Amino acid sequence: MKGFSLNQATTKRWPLEDLVAGCVKAGVPAVGLWREEVAEYGLDKAAALVRDAGLEVSSLCRSGFFQLPDWRDSNRQAIDEAHALGTDTLVLVSGGLPEGSRDIDGARRHIGDAIGELVPYAKAAGVRLAIEALHPMFCSDRCVVATLGQALQLAAPYPADTVGVVIDTYHLWWDDQVWRLIEVAGREGRIHSFQLADWITPLPEGVLLGRGLPGTGSVDMRRFATAVREAGYEGYVEVEVFHEDVWSRPGAEVLDEAYAGYRAAVE
């Protein structure tokens, strides 16, 4: 694997210029960026900042949300942004059930169709669409794609160099099928991103901001890192944690802990 990458969401309140300087200082070779923060700073300015610092962009988070009426335009725009930032990987979070709907199969079919429509545009831009399964607790309101098996099934009709999956420890650790599926994903060349976050309890209200830095929770990080490496993954390993307690701490301190968590898992 290529090395550690700090996903920007882990240090959400660290201004981008400080984050980039902090990564350079700590010897971190790559960052994962988020569309909202990039837009706020300015797309071209952000691309230049990161490039001039010698950092790679391991992924852009995130697009998808295919239940929204503007999914076509917003996903094409996200592909353009990924291209402009020089990353080859755009993370897709599918979105939940349409308002008032209980048709989960229909929602999943729609996502497959929508991804199919985006494939030529993504291919032309040299951007890979990485389908992320979120933990099943997000199934109704954020992501009807709840398992790696589903993500692989959605990716299957399309070429692996354009549509793949994200392996995120936080979302997948509970699934006894995940080890077999990581092998399958690797064999198919579909592991486009690998992200570390730990499972800690109690979950906060709304459950979105409940993640722990790698090593602080219930997930066997080393088992995941070994499985993903043995499946042939050669990209960066992002640490991506959302938690108010983490966000309220100094960015450089969190970066150090995230990097240490990565090393403990991977080295």
The CA distances from residue 250 to 15, 44, 194, 230, 256, in Å, are 11, 27, 25, 35, 10
CA distance 71 to 206: 24
Choice between 120 and 179, CB closer to a copy of itself: 179
Inter-residue contact 262 to 26 (CB < 8 Å)? no
Q: What share of the chain is helix, strand, coil (3-state, %, to 5)?
A: 45, 20, 35
Choice between 97 and 252, CB closer to a copy of itself: 97
Minimum gap (Å) between residue 180 Cβ and a copy of itself: 12
Choice between 23 and 114, CB closer to a copy of itself: 114
- What is the Cα gyration radius of the chain? 17
Minimum gap (Å) between residue 175 Cβ and a copy of itself: 7
Minimum gap (Å) between residue 218 Cβ and a copy of itself: 4
- Binding residues for a copy of itself, rule: CB under 8 A, are 97, 102-105, 108, 135-137, 139-141, 144, 146-147, 149-150, 173-177, 199, 201-207, 217-220
- Hey, which residues does 162 pair with through a beta bridge? none
Choice between 130 and 265, CB closer to a copy of itself: 265
Amino acid at 237: V
Select from 135, 73, 143, 75 the least CA-distant residue to 107: 143
Minimum gap (Å) between residue 177 Cβ and a copy of itself: 8
Choice between 124 and 207, CB closer to a copy of itself: 207
Roughly how many angstroms between the first and final C-alpha of the chain, as a whole number?
A: 11
Choice between 126 and 136, CB closer to a copy of itself: 136
Choice between 55 and 178, CB closer to a copy of itself: 178
Minimum gap (Å) between residue 204 Cβ and a copy of itself: 6
3-state secondary structure labels for all residues of 11-48: HCCCCHHHHHHHHHHHCCCEEEEEHHHHHHHCHHHHHH
Minimum gap (Å) between residue 134 Cβ and a copy of itself: 10
Minimum gap (Å) between residue 166 Cβ and a copy of itself: 17
Q: What is the DSSP string of 172-219?
A: HTT-TTHHHHHHHHHHTT-EEEEEE-EE-SSPPTTSTTBEE-TTSSS-
